[in-house]
Structure 1
Amino acid sequence: MYKPESKLAAQALSAGYSADQVIRNLDLEISKGSVTAIIGPNGAGKTSLLKALARKIPAASGAVLLDGISITALTKAEINQSIGFLAAIPAARNQESVFDLVARSATAARQISRVSPRLKEEIETLLERTSLSGVRDKKVGELSSGYRQCAVIAAALVKNPAVLLLDEPTNSLDYSHQLQVMNLLSSLKRERGMTVVAVIHDLNLAARFADHIVILKDGSIVAQGTPHEVITPNNLADAFRILARVIDDPVGKTPLVIPIRQLA
C-alpha cells in the first residue's frame, strides 16, 4: 500500500538486464526529506535498484512511484528535473574543467544557454562546499579519483533535484572528505528538504548519517528501518556472512559495527 508521505516508492518491483532479473519483487517506501542508505554485499543489486528508481533500466514488472505517480507516465525531462542520479563522468568530458562540468550540468537542468552571475555564485559556493574551489580550473581527467568523485557529486547537486540518488558517493575519498560529503547531504536534507538515497559500503558511516537503512541481498530486502533496527548482529550475519559485535557509537549514539570474523 502506497503511503502518502512517500516521495519515492517501489511496488513489487523486478528489474535487471535482459533476462537477468537482479531486483526481485521488491517493495520500498522512501519518505520525503530523508536520507536512506542502501547497504549489502557485492552483487546484491544495490546499483541496479538505484538505476530502476531513476528509470535508467526498465522495470520487468511492478512499478516505481514518484509522488504517487508512476515514473513510466513521466517524460524523461520531468524525471531528470525531479531525480538526480550520480553517474560516472564520460571519458569525453575529461578535458572539461571542473567549473565547466558543473556549469554544463546546471545550464542543462535549467534549460538555459549561459551562466548568469547569480548561477555562477551558486556554482562557486557549491565548489567550495565540495572542496573543489582549489581545482576549479583543472581538467577533470587530471584529477585524483577523490576529486573526480567530488566533481561528480557537485554536478549532480547543482541540478537541485527533489530526489538525489548516489551510488557510493564516498568511494575513493579519505575520511575527511567522506565526512564532508555526508555532512553536505545531511545539510541538503535540512535546508532544501531533499530526499537522498545512497549506496554506502561503510556500515558505520551509513548508521551515523542515514534516517533509514535498507539491506539488500540477492535482489531482495533482508531488513529495513532505523539504523538501530537494521544494524544488528543477526542481520549482518545473514546479509554479509560475518560475525560482528554492534555497540553504541560513543559520539553519535548510533550503531557501531566491530567485525570479528567471516562465517562459513
Structure 2
Amino acid sequence: MIPYERQKKIVRLLADKDLVKIDELQTQLPNISISTLRRDLKTLETNGKIEYLVGGAIKAVMTTSELSMSQKTMLHDEQKQLIAVRAAKEVCDNESIYIDSGSTSSLLLNQLLDRDITIYTTNTTIFNISGEIKATVILLGGHYNPKISSLSGTLTENNLSDLYFDRAFLGVNGVDDEKGVTTPNISEATKKRLIRTNAKQTYLLCDSSKFHRISSVRAFDLENVILVSDKGDAVISKLVPILLPE
C-alpha cells in the first residue's frame, strides 16, 4: 500500500472517532508497522489533517468551507436565534457598533434596528429590510460577495481603518482552542482582524457546531474576545468567556 493510500485510510478511521491512541489505531491497521504508522501520522500532522493531543491521543482536524447564505440560514436556526437575542442584550443605547456578515449576524441586525444606536455593517442583507427603523445604519463599501452577502477588500479596509466601535459582532466559520478563529476567505479574515483592533469589545457569534472546526484562513487567536453561543465548551471556555442564552 502506497503512503497516500495508507494516509487516506488513517484519516477515514479517525473521522469515525473523536480521538484514538496510536496503539489502538495500529490494531485496525495490522499490516502497517508502528514506525511506518508514525511516519504517516507525522506527514498528516504537517499537512494539517490530524492533531496530536496531550497523552498521545490523535484526532482528525475538522475543516469547514464557506456555505452560501441560503444554506447557512437553514442550519441551526434555533440556536442562531438564541445567540442573536443574547448578543443584543450586550448593546447599550447611543453606542456605535459593527455587525458582520453571516446568518447569525443578520438575525442580530433585526434585533437592533429599533434601538437608538449607530450600526456599521458590511452585511448586504440589510437591503432586505423595509419599513421604518430607529437605528442609524451605515453600509461600508467594498467588493461584493453575493455568496455570503458581504462586502470586503481594500475599499472596506480603508473605510474601517478610521472607524472605532464600542462593540463589534463577528461571524466565524470555525473556533478552535489551538488554531483560533478561522474563515475560508483571506479578505474576510483581514477585515475581521482590523475590526477587532478597532473595537473596544469584540464578540464572536458562534453556534456550537463550529467549535473545534478549522477553515482555511486564520483571522486571529482567541484573545480579547467574548464568545456568544448556544452551549459551552470545556476546552474553549478556559481561553475565552462564553455568553449563553438566558
* TM, length-normalised to structure 1: 0.30
Larger radius of gyration: 2
Q: Which has the higher contact order (CA 8 A, sep 6+)?
A: 1
Could you say which structure has the higher strand fraction? Answer: 1
